[in-house]
Amino acid sequence: MTRNEKKVFVLSVVFGAVLCVPQNAFAMHIMEGYLPPLHCVFWGAVCIPFLAGGVISIRHTIQRRRKALLLLAMAGAFIFVISSLKIPSVTGSCSHMTGTGLAAILFGPVAASVLGIIVLVFQAVLLAHGGLTSLGANTFSMAIAGPLLSWGLYKLGKKCRIPRLANIFIAATLGDLFTYCVTSLQLALANPSVEGGNAASAVKFLGVFAPTQLPLAVIEGILTMLIILGLESYAEPELREIGFLEEI
């Protein structure tokens, strides 16, 4: 990072922590108006440093790795497609996937957070899906926590020499599931159960989201794997440039 960029980054952290003004509030799956204002502000503030880091990381990609721009656009588009498809699941209700695993594996979790928030804003403003007040909480679950886990698992798997495709599949699947676990926790924190408190209601929310999401997470894992398989065949120079194929 240049000095200027560092300054901007630090400022953004201070801005988030002190002012707690979630201008970038985002929403994935928590419904508009369902979190108390204090929670909205808190989750929004948590997201700000990640988003600032993501903008810086994407700027670097644009300046220094022009070739990789196409991949970045495709990773963003993947989130668009995947998160717009509502798929029936075994529990008799529908849900959709997050698609942020691909961006996290290719470009790292902070870049993925920016791509994720674009989709969340689109859905919150135009589709009344999620909401502007819960934007911060939803950004945290879908665009930060999920990608962070995917990326961490992928790096770990690479060290343990898990075959690459299997590794990608596992990372993307669990990243998707984790998003919904975080959503459950966020809802539980806002709605403690009368008997049992937060923990009891966390279990209840997980009971709603987890079984529905499990098959979808598997689908997301498979699709992410397929996209990367395709990119490996046709976009070798780009993957080398972003360091994805360095080891070969």
Partner 1 sequence: MRNKTKIVVLSLVLVLLLAVVPLFVLKGAAFGGSDDAGSQMVEQIRGEAYEPWFTPVLEQVIGGELPGEIESLLFCVQTGIGVGVIAYGFGYLVARKKYSKAEKE
CB of 10 to partner 1, least distance (A): 32
| Ramachandran class of 106: left when φ > 0, alpha when ψ lies in -120 to 50, beta otherwise | alpha
The DSSP code sequence of 225-246 is HHHHHHHHHH-HHHHHHTTTTT
Site for partner 1 in 140-179 (CB under 8 A): 165
CB nearer partner 1, residue 17 or residue 165: 165
CB nearer partner 1, residue 1 or residue 23: 23
Is 229 among the residues that bind partner 1 (CB under 8 A)?
Answer: yes
CB of 86 to partner 1, least distance (A): 7
Cα separation, 236 vs 248, whole angstroms: 11
Inter-residue contact 9 to 1 (CB < 8 Å): yes
Is 126 among the residues that bind partner 1 (CB under 8 A)?
Answer: yes
Is 222 among the residues that bind partner 1 (CB under 8 A)?
Answer: yes
Tokens of 182: 């975080």
Is 187 among the residues that bind partner 1 (CB under 8 A)?
Answer: yes
Is 21 among the residues that bind partner 1 (CB under 8 A)?
Answer: no
Distant-in-sequence contacts of 118-122, Cβ < 8 A, 24+ apart = 118/76, 118/79, 119/79, 119/80, 119/83, 120/26, 120/27, 120/28, 121/26, 122/80
CB of 224 to partner 1, least distance (A): 11
Amino acid letter for position 13: V
CB nearer partner 1, residue 10 or residue 80: 80
Nearest to 43 by CA among 126, 111, 153, 117: 117
- Residues in contact with 14: Cβ distance below 8 Å, sequence separation at least 6, in sequence order: none
Site for partner 1 in 40-99 (CB under 8 A): 70-71, 73-74, 76-95
CB of 236 to partner 1, least distance (A): 9
CB of 218 to partner 1, least distance (A): 6
Is 118 among the residues that bind partner 1 (CB under 8 A)?
Answer: no
Inter-residue contact 223 to 82 (CB < 8 Å): yes
Among 57-65, 105-113, 142-150, 222-230, the segment contacting partner 1 (CB under 8 A): 222-230
Residue ranges in contact with partner 1 by CB under 8 A: 29-34, 37, 70-71, 73-74, 76-95, 119, 122-129, 131-133, 165, 187, 191, 193-194, 201, 204-205, 208-209, 212-213, 215-216, 218-219, 222-223, 225-227, 229-231, 233-235
